[in-house]
Every structure is written in structure tokens, then in C-alpha cells.
């Protein structure tokens, strides 16, 4: 079983850090469904921002099942070390360093995956942060910065020498952003050479894929991100398959209704009435994507301005669904991704200065990651996402990989 420092995880299934998604309510839910571990959304290392509302929500670990892992993103070794100390004092039992985020806003500051361009700096960051705290420090990164110059083998060696307790690798380069497919061959190479736990990440969306990735990489664990959006029970499905070789039936509609209403309740209590209602929208959209009559339902749901109204329409939708089907059944629906028949609400369309933002109907040509649009760098392409029955398709406002994610609607208390 995988060990991170003194912590032995119950199973090899880890929730990927996702800014705007993996807040405390979502991490708790995934752990309830059997995830062995979860990493927080990335947090800024800028001490001036520690007290802002977003940072406080992200650094809230109250009541979370151990081990609590706080992810930090930055580029200055000393600032990262200070942030690590701050998070440990705040309750973190593991500190995770982000060297994987491809977002321009982050990379422009030479943070996230941009760090992979400067191996000396990588080494200094790892050494400094590991020395700064007496809890395990983990690293999450990509194969490299550009295709053809993947340096993950050297980075992994540095990580091991620095005393990093576990290394999670997303099988893409920064250049790939989220395009193409995750590659697992280099993760296997790293695993062959490493004596620290290796966690494989990228495009794992079914129990069979999880097993395949564990088999081909030899990794100690897999990390699942987008496929858990609106489908936190994926950890139960994967865990069951790994243990028995059998696939569970889809969850009962009645259970999903309860899970979603419980999730909403947690979000409302965590974020409060105004933000709770707005943050919940993307989760509801993910849960219902591909289900019967869900497009019409979502329009109705987006119009709700109160948590009570939102919970009421969700409840009514699932009660109606229950009359049709006992178990969750996805129908083939047009992907709410690139839809040329819809006017695009993409903020990149109206503001040429913007490089990334939240939208429901992105423009063809942009990189689209779960309701988040990124203007492509030269040569980057993003094929329209194919609608897949289980993969939660983008539908509602979601944060993506940014230390300061896309703004949510202003809340009354600032
Ligand atoms: C909306 C979104 C937000 C993300 N935020 C973070 C983050 O805060 N820190 C990080 O290390 N990776 C972040 N990632 C990357 C994921 O952790 C993961 O590496 C990536 O999505 C690939 O895994 P998947 O195919 O299972 O989704 C984010 C990804 C998405 C889609």
C-alpha cells in the first residue's frame, strides 16, 4: 500500500488537485466514496493574499480526514518555504508543490509547469521547501515543458534526492496543455528508477483505465481529476474493480439525488448563501450532464438565485428522473462544448486582452478544460470534445488551474 511519509493510504486512489473544484466539501465527498487521499486546490505563496476570502476558503481543512494535503504554487524558494510553514501551522499534514499547472497566468510568473524550464530552480525549490517543514513534501508535475524535451527523469531524480515523499506525474508536457492523450511510458521509466512512491495521472476516467495505467506504469497509485467532477463515486467504482475485477452497476438515481443534495448542503454551509448557490452551479451541471432532459433542467437551475430554489429544482429533477430509471443512465446528448448553433458566451470572444476565462460555449480553436477556456499558444490545438457518456462534459462556470482562479460573481461581503 502506498505510503506518504508516515501516512499509509487505504488505497491507491487519489483525488487530483483542481482549483475551483476540489474544495473541502468535494474532497470530503470523494474520500467518503473511497478515495485514499485528496490534495487541496493550489494556494498562493503571496503572504499578502493569505487573508483574502478565496485563500481562506482554500486553506480551510476543518474536520477533513487525515492526511490533509495543501498544495502551494509559486517560484521563489523562500516564499514557497514560508507558505509551506504557514500551511503546516494551519493544519496541513502534507505539503504538495505544484509544478504542473499549465495556465498562462501561473506560467508567466514562472510557476507551475513553467518551472520545468529551469532545473536549477526546481532543485532549489525542492531542497528549500523540504528543509522548511517537518511534514512530508510531495511534488506534482508534468513530463516536461515542451514536447521532445521531456525532463521528468531528471526532475524525478532531483525530487528523490531532495527528500520528496511522493511524486505525482501528469502524462503530458506543458506544451500539450490538455490536448491529445496522456502518455504513460515516461511515467513507467520514472517508476523503474525511483524508490519513492510514484502517482500516475492523466485521462483516467474508468475503472478499467485506472487498472490499465497502474499495470503499464507500475505506479503506486493513480490520481483522478476531471472524471470525478459530478461523479465522486468513481472512487468506489475503481476501488471495487481493482479489488474484484468486476464492474459495479451505475449508481441508483435515488442515491445520486441524496449525494448531490448532500453535496449542495455542504457547499451552502461552507460558502454561505450567495457564493454557495453560484459555486454549486458547475457541480450540478457536471452531475446532470448527459442525463435525460438535463439541458432544459440546467437552464432552469441557472435561473435560481437562492440555495433553497436551487435545491428544490435539483430535487424535482431527480424525482422525475427516478420515475424513468432506477439507475443512472446517460443518453447521447450533444456536448455542451463547441456548439456553433449557440452564441458563444466565451469572454475571450469579447475581450482580446483576456487569455483565459470561464464559459459555457467556447469558441472553436480555444483550449477548453471543463468549462474553462484558454487562448491557445501558437500551434496548440484543441479538437472539439467528443461527448462521452461518463466523462463530465463542460457545462458551467468552473475554475481551472490558476493560483487566483477566474473570478466568481462578487459576494455581498466582498
Ligand atoms: C479545472 C481544473 C483545475 C486544476 N487545478 C489544478 C491545481 O490547482 N493544481 C494542480 O496541480 N493541478 C491542477 N489541475 C490539473 C489536474 O490536477 C490534473 O493533473 C489534470 O486534470 C489531469 O488529470 P485528469 O485527466 O484526471 O483530469 C487542474 C485541472 C483542471 C481540469
pLDDT tens per residue across span 136-158: 999 999 999 999 999 999 999 99
Ligand 1: atom nearest CA of 201 is 23
What pLDDT is recorded for position 345? 65
Q: What's the whole-number mean pLDDT along residues 172-179? A: 92
Active site residues: 101
Report the predicted TM-score, pTM, of the whole model to 2 decimal places.
Answer: 0.84
Ligand 1: atom nearest CA of 403 is 8
Kindly indicate the confidence band of residue 385, based on its pLDDT and cuts at 50, 70 and 90: very low
Q: Which residues contact 300 (CB under 8 A, 6 or more apart)?
A: 313
Kindly indicate the confidence band of residue 296, based on its pLDDT and cuts at 50, 70 and 90: very high
214: part of which helix (H) or strand (E)?
Answer: helix 207-217
pLDDT beyond 70 at 245: yes
Using most ligand atoms within 8 A of CB, pick from 13, 15, 16 the residue to mutate for ligand 1: 16
pLDDT beyond 60 at 288: yes
Could you tell me the residue ranges of all domains in the chain? Answer: 3-244, 253-324
Residues contacting ligand 1 via CB (< 6 Å) = 16-21, 41-42, 71, 98, 100-101, 140, 170, 201-204, 224-227, 369-370, 372, 398-401
pLDDT tens per residue across span 340-368: 444 566 767 777 666 666 665 666 566 55
Phi, psi dihedral angles at 234 (to 5 degrees)? -60, -30
Q: What's the whole-number mean pLDDT along residues 252-276? A: 98
Long-range contacts from 295-300, C-beta under 8 angstroms, 24+ separation = 295/333, 295/336, 298/395, 298/396
Residue 134 to residue 154: CA distance in whole angstroms: 25
The rounded percent of the chain whose pLDDT value lies above 90 is 74
| d(CA 167, ligand 1 centre) in Å | 15
Using most ligand atoms within 8 A of CB, pick from 54, 170, 212 the residue to mutate for ligand 1: 170
The residue whose CA has the least distance to atom 15 of ligand 1 is 18
Higher pLDDT, 329 or 374: 329
Kindly indicate the confidence band of residue 105, based on its pLDDT and cuts at 50, 70 and 90: confident
Among candidate residues 211, 287, 216, the one with its CA nearest the CA of residue 246: 211
Phi, psi dihedral angles at 392 (to 5 degrees)? -70, 115
Kindly indicate the confidence band of residue 109, based on its pLDDT and cuts at 50, 70 and 90: confident
According to the CATH classification, is domain 3-244 in 3.20.20.70?
yes
pLDDT beyond 90 at 379: no
| d(CA 186, ligand 1 centre) in Å | 19
| d(CA 170, ligand 1 centre) in Å | 9
Question: What one-character DSSP code corresponds to residue 48?
Answer: G
pLDDT beyond 90 at 95: yes
Phi, psi dihedral angles at 56 (to 5 degrees)? -65, -40
pLDDT beyond 50 at 414: no
Q: Which residues contact 199 (CB under 8 A, 6 or more apart)?
A: 2, 14, 166, 167, 168, 169, 219, 220, 221, 222, 223
Using most ligand atoms within 8 A of CB, pick from 181, 203, 225, 337 the residue to mutate for ligand 1: 225
The residue whose CA has the least distance to atom 26 of ligand 1 is 225
What pLDDT is recorded for position 263? 98
What pLDDT is recorded for position 371? 54
Supply the mean pLDDT for the chain: 86
Higher pLDDT, 238 or 411: 238
The residue whose CA has the least distance to atom 7 of ligand 1 is 18
Using most ligand atoms within 8 A of CB, pick from 19, 390, 404 the residue to mutate for ligand 1: 19
Ligand 1: atom nearest CA of 73 is 9
Residue 298 to residue 42: CA distance in whole angstroms: 29
What pLDDT is recorded for position 364? 59
Higher pLDDT, 65 or 343: 65
pLDDT beyond 90 at 383: no
| d(CA 168, ligand 1 centre) in Å | 11
pLDDT tens per residue across span 69-81: 999 999 999 999 9
What pLDDT is recorded for position 101? 83
Q: What's the whole-number mean pLDDT along residues 102-115? A: 79
The residue whose CA has the least distance to atom 29 of ligand 1 is 18
| d(CA 74, ligand 1 centre) in Å | 16
Ligand 1: atom nearest CA of 41 is 8
Q: For residues 273 and 265, is the Cβ–Cβ distance under 8 A?
A: no
What pLDDT is recorded for position 363? 62
| d(CA 402, ligand 1 centre) in Å | 10
Crossing angle (nearest 10°) for helices 253-271 and 307-324:
170
| d(CA 225, ligand 1 centre) in Å | 6
Ligand 1: atom nearest CA of 16 is 17
Amino acid at each position: 500500500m502506498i505510503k506518504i511519509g508516515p501516512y499509509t493510504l487505504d488505497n491507491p486512489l487519489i483525488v487530483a488537485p483542481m482549483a475551483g473544484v476540489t474544495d473541502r466539501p468535494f474532497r470530503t465527498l470523494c474520500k467518503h466514496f473511497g478515495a485514499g487521499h485528496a490534495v487541496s486546490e493550489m494556494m498562493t505563496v503571496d503572504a499578502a493574499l493569505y487573508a483574502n476570502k478565496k485563500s481562506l476558503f482554500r486553506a480551510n481543512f476543518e474536520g477533513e480526514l487525515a492526511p490533509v494535503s495543501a498544495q502551494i504554487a509559486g517560484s521563489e524558494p523562500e516564499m514557497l518555504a514560508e507558505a509551506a510553514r504557514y500551511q503546516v501551522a494551519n493544519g496541513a499534514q502534507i505539503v504538495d508543490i505544484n509544478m504542473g499547472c499549465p495556465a498562462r497566468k501561473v506560467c508567466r510568473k514562472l510557476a507551475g509547469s513553467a518551472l520545468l524550464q529551469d532545473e536549477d530552480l526546481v532543485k532549489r525549490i525542492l531542497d528549500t521547501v523540504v528543509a522548511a517543514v517537518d511534514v512530508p513534501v510531495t511534488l506534482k508535475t508534468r513530463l516536461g515543458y515542451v514536447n521532445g524535451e521531456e525532463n521528468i527523469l531528471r526532475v524525478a531524480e532531483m525530487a528523490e534526492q531532495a527528500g520528496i515523499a511522493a511524486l505525482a506525474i501528469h502524462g503530458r508536457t506543458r506544451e500539450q496543455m490538455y490536448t491529445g492523450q496522456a502518455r504513460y511510458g515516461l511515467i513507467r521509466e520514472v517508476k523503474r528508477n525511483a524508490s519513492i512512491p510514484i502517482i500516475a495521472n492523466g485521462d483516467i476516467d474508468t475503472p478499467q483505465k485506472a487498472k490499465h495505467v497502474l499495470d503499464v506504469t507500475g505506479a503506486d497509485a493513480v490520481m483522478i481529476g476531471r472524471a470525478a467532477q459530478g461523479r465522486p463515486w468513481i472512487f468506489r467504482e475503481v476501488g471495487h474493480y481493482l479489488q474484484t475485477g468486476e464492474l459495479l452497476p451505475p449508481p441508483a438515481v435515488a442515491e445520486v439525488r441524496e449525494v448531490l443534495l448532500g453535496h449542495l448542503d455542504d457547499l451552502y454551509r461552507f460558502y454561505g448563501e450567495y457564493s454557495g448557490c453560484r459555486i454549486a452551479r458547475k457541480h450540478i451541471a457536471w452531475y446532470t450532464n448527459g442525463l435525460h432532459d438535463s439541458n432544459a433542467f440546467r437552464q432552469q437551475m441557472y435561473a435560481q438565485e437562492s440555495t433553497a430554489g436551487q435545491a428544490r429544482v435539483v430535487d424535482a429533477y431527480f424525482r422525475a428522473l427516478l420515475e424513468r430509471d432506477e439507475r443512472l443512465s446517460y443518453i447521447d446528448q450533444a456536448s455542451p462544448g463547441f456548439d456553433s448553433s449557440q452564441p458563444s458566451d466565451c469572454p475571450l470572444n469579447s475581450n482580446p486582452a483576456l487569455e483565459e476565462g470561464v464559459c459555457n460555449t467556447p469558441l472553436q480553436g480555444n483550449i477548453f478544460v471543463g468549462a474553462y477556456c484558454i487562448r491557445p499558444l501558437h500551434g496548440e490545438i484543441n479538437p472539439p470534445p467528443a461527448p462521452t457518456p461518463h466523462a463530465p462534459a463542460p457545462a458551467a462556470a468552473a475554475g481551472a488551474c490558476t493560483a487566483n482562479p477566474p473570478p466568481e460573481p462578487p459576494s455581498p461581503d466582498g
